[in-house]
Structure 1
């Protein structure tokens, strides 16, 4: 059976301040914030996926966003987290501060954005059985 080709094009990231959240994440990842598009403030990723930051008036439900990054960019991202005073963790439950994991032979870290979204940077894709 042939499966259809399906790719993620964009996703909405709810935030209490779309500008602050978009600029925070773009700054950590070394990306640019795009021009507003309707109610959205976009951050484009290298694989063509767009994160559309949307400002909401109510509470924001925390989500998880994982970013596959080049190994040569990882240390710079950790440096930007440290410079911004943002604690990073080796685990998704934030129990091991200022540590990096080595899952699947790569490196990874988790950190919270201004709205508490659990962001992850990793240098190797997770292997699934």
Structure 2
């Protein structure tokens, strides 16, 4: 995947403050988008890992908020594909049960419970 012209940090000036939200659940994505936009960020939404990867050649966001539990291509596979072409910061988001922390590659998987997620957002 070829990326467009970028400035310092690999982020183009046009995409500074842009967050790519990768979330398949409509209710969750609406909530996350509302909170982020209210905080002043611009948000582009992808409903799947495949959809996110299709968007990537056209722009490089400042941050990717990536759901772990996506259909077909999960968040880990999506993250790996993004890493092949970009060093954009990625935050992995999950609602798995508390206590399911595990090490996966160089990533500590630390789930956020539904109640904790509501409090954080």
TM-score (norm 2): 0.28
TM-score (norm 1): 0.27
Larger radius of gyration: 1
